């Protein structure tokens, strides 16, 4: 059984078509790049997978089930924007996650926090954007989920924060899980990708193994992306 499966998945916003008859299967044990320019349908697909939107046609299945209560227990989701209250301390947020998610591993989160030398008593309000992004990633990757959806996890952060985020992703998921990284910053993530999905105007235009792209097409993923999405 595929960990993520889309069958004729279609989504409209009014008359605007965000996804058009998407068919896709993604297996576990991979870091997958969901790659496309802004407005291509990446975030819409992730929101459908998390049950935040309903499709107009077709379906998306997570570990064989439609998005709902059952899938929320196996999916860890990092949105493309800040989602935590500024007034809360890291310590309080860890406690909230511990109460809310049975698979949250607090010790793992505290170890990652310690490696960054961040005081757990500090509130988010006193942190830079890059530090807040790291905290949100720590929360997401400290869950023992089957599917991790990371929507633009490296957008707008400095190179040092970017390196930390990518290293954290690689070292904190298991072979029984799948990580979906949605981004338009291809050059920064391509070194960690096992599989690549190009999405353009709400349609899948390529789904291929990352190494095969390099071997068969003789170019980097970033180079192929620039070719496929040339204006």
Q: In the prediction, which pLDDT does 160 show?
A: 78
Condensed to tens digits (0 to 9), the pLDDT of residues 125-163 reads 999 888 888 899 899 999 999 999 999 888 777 787 778
Yes or no: say if 31 and 209 are a contact pair by the CB < 8 Å rule: no
* The pLDDT of residue 61 is above 70: yes
Domains detected in the chain? 4-228 (3.40.50.300)
* The pLDDT of residue 166 is above 90: no
* The pLDDT of residue 231 is above 70: no
Condensed to tens digits (0 to 9), the pLDDT of residues 195-213 reads 999 999 999 999 999 999 9
Q: In the prediction, which pLDDT does 28 show?
A: 92
Q: In the prediction, which pLDDT does 121 show?
A: 94
Q: In the prediction, which pLDDT does 158 show?
A: 76
Is the pLDDT higher at 231 or at 28? 28
Condensed to tens digits (0 to 9), the pLDDT of residues 66-121 reads 999 899 999 999 998 888 889 999 999 999 999 999 999 999 999 988 888 889 99
Yes or no: say if 32 and 225 are a contact pair by the CB < 8 Å rule: no
Q: In the prediction, which pLDDT does 117 show?
A: 86
The predicted model scores a pTM of 0.92
Q: Rounded distance, CA 23 to CA 8, Å? A: 5
Mean pLDDT across 44-67: 96
* The pLDDT of residue 1 is above 80: no
Q: In the prediction, which pLDDT does 164 show?
A: 82
Q: In the prediction, which pLDDT does 162 show?
A: 79
Q: How far is CA 109 from CA 30, 143, 186, in A?
A: 22, 9, 27
Is the pLDDT higher at 82 or at 57? 57
Condensed to tens digits (0 to 9), the pLDDT of residues 10-26 reads 999 999 999 999 999 99
| Matching residue, tokens 């698979």 | 103
Mean pLDDT across 34-47: 92
DSSP annotation string for the chain: --SEEEEEEEEEETTEEEEEEEEEEE-SSEEEEEE--TTSSHHHHHHHHTTSS--SEEEEEETTB-SSHHHHTTEEEE-SS--S-TT-BHHHHHHHHHHH-TTB-HHHHHHHHHHTT--TT-BGGGS-HHHHHHHHHHHHHTB--SEEEEESTTTT--HHHHHHHHHHHHHT--TTSEEEEEES-HHHHGGG-SEEEEEETTEEEEEEEHHHHHHHH-S-HHHHHHHHT--
């Amino acid at each position: 059984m595929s960990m993520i499966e889309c069958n004729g998945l279609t989504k409209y916003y009014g008359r605007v078509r965000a996804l058009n008859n998407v068919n896709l299967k993604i297996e576990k044990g991979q870091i997958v790049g969901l790659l496309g320019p802004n407005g291509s349908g990446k975030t819409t697909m992730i929101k459908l997978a998390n049950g935040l939107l309903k499709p107009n046609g077709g379906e998306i299945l997570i570990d064989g089930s439609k998005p709902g209560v059952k899938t929320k227990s196996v999916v860890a989701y990092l949105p493309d924007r800040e989602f935590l209250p500024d007034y809360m301390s890291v310590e309080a947020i860890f406690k909230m996650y511990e109460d809310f998610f049975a698979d949250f591993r607090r010790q793992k989160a505290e170890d990652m926090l310690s490696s960054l030398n961040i005081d757990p008593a500090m509130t988010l309000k006193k942190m830079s954007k890059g530090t807040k992004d790291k905290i949100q990633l720590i929360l997401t990757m400290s869950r023992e989920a089957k599917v991790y959806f990371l929507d633009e996890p490296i957008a707008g952060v400095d190179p040092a924060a970017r390196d930390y985020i990518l290293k954290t992703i690689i070292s904190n998921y298991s072979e029984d899980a799948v990580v979906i990284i949605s981004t338009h910053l291809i050059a920064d993530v391509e070194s960690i990708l096992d599989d690549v999905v190009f999405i353009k105007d709400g349609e899948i235009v390529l789904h291929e193994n990352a190494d095969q792209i390099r071997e068969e097409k003789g170019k980097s993923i970033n180079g192929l992306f620039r070719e496929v999405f040339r204006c």
